[in-house]
C-alpha cells in the first residue's frame, strides 16, 4: 500500500511540476489561454509527453491504493474513475494534441477525447475519494473544482488557467489522500 501511495505522489508531482516549470520557463505559450497539452507538440514534446506517462502511472497507482484500502461502492467507483483517468493520461502521452491553428489530426482527436474523459472522470473521482475524509474536505474540494470549472465556462479566454486550477485540485487531492492512505496502512 505504501509503495502504491509513493508511486501516486511521485507520478502526479512529476506531472504537476512539469506543467508548472514549462508554464514558467517558456514565453511562447500562454498558461492563461493555452492548454498544457500544447507543450506536447512543441520543443518540449519529450518533457510533456513523459509527464503524461509518469502522471498516468501515478494516477493508476493511486487508483490501486484506493481499491486496496477502500470498502463499499464509493471507494470502488472512485478507484475505477481514477484508473480510467490514469489510462487516459498514458494514452495521451502517445497521442499528442493538434497544433493550435493547424489542421485537425487523428492523434489530436484521440488526445482531445482523452482529455474530455480525464476531466470528467478525475474530478468525480476526487469528490468520491474526498467524501471519506469528512464534510469539510469534501466541500473544500468541491469549491475548488467549482472555481476551475467556472473559469472554464466563463468564456474569458482563460481555458489554460481553468485547466491548471482543476489539475491543481486533482493532483493535490491525490497527494493528500495518498499520504492519508499511507499513514493508515502503517498504523493498521
Domain ranges of the chain: 2-187
- Cα(17)–Cα(19) distance, rounded to whole angstroms? 5
- Cα(14)–Cα(17) distance, rounded to whole angstroms? 5
Tens of pLDDT, residues 1-13:
789 999 999 999 9
Estimate the share of the chain in helix, then strand, then coil, as percent rounded to the nearest 5. 80, 0, 20
Phi-psi domain of 79 (left: phi exceeds 0; alpha: psi -120 through 50; beta: other):
alpha
Residues, the chain, total? 188
The enclosing H or E element of 62 equals helix 45-69
C-alpha angle 60-146-78 in degrees, rounded to nearest 5: 25
Q: Is the pLDDT of residue 65 over 50?
A: yes
pLDDT at 181: 79
Cell of 160: 489554460
Q: Is the pLDDT of residue 74 over 90?
A: no
Higher pLDDT, 99 or 157: 157
CB 122 within 8 A of CB 59: yes
Q: Is the pLDDT of residue 102 over 90?
A: no
pLDDT at 188: 56
How does the average pLDDT of the chain come out, rounded? Answer: 91
Amino acid at each position: 500500500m505504501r509503495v502504491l501511495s509513493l508511486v501516486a505522489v511521485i507520478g502526479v508531482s512529476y506531472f504537476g511540476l512539469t506543467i508548472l516549470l514549462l508554464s514558467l520557463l517558456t514565453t511562447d505559450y500562454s498558461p492563461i489561454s493555452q492548454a498544457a497539452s500544447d507543450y506536447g507538440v512543441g520543443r518540449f514534446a519529450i518533457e510533456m509527453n513523459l509527464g503524461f506517462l509518469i502522471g498516468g502511472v501515478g494516477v493508476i497507482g493511486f487508483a490501486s491504493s484506493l481499491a486496496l484500502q477502500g470498502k463499499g461502492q464509493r471507494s470502488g467507483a472512485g478507484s475505477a474513475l481514477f484508473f480510467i483517468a490514469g489510462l487516459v493520461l498514458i494514452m495521451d502521452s502517445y497521442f499528442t494534441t493538434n497544433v493550435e491553428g493547424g489542421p485537425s489530426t487523428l492523434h489530436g482527436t484521440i488526445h482531445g477525447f482523452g482529455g474530455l474523459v480525464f476531466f470528467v472522470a478525475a474530478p468525480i473521482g476526487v469528490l468520491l475519494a474526498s467524501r471519506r475524509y469528512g464534510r469539510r474536505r469534501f466541500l473544500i474540494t468541491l469549491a475548488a473544482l467549482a472555481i476551475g470549472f467556472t473559469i472554464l465556462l466563463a468564456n474569458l479566454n482563460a481555458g489554460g488557467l481553468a485547466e491548471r486550477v482543476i489539475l491543481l485540485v486533482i493532483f493535490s487531492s491525490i497527494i493528500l489522500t495518498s499520504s492519508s492512505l499511507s499513514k493508515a496502512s502503517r498504523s493498521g
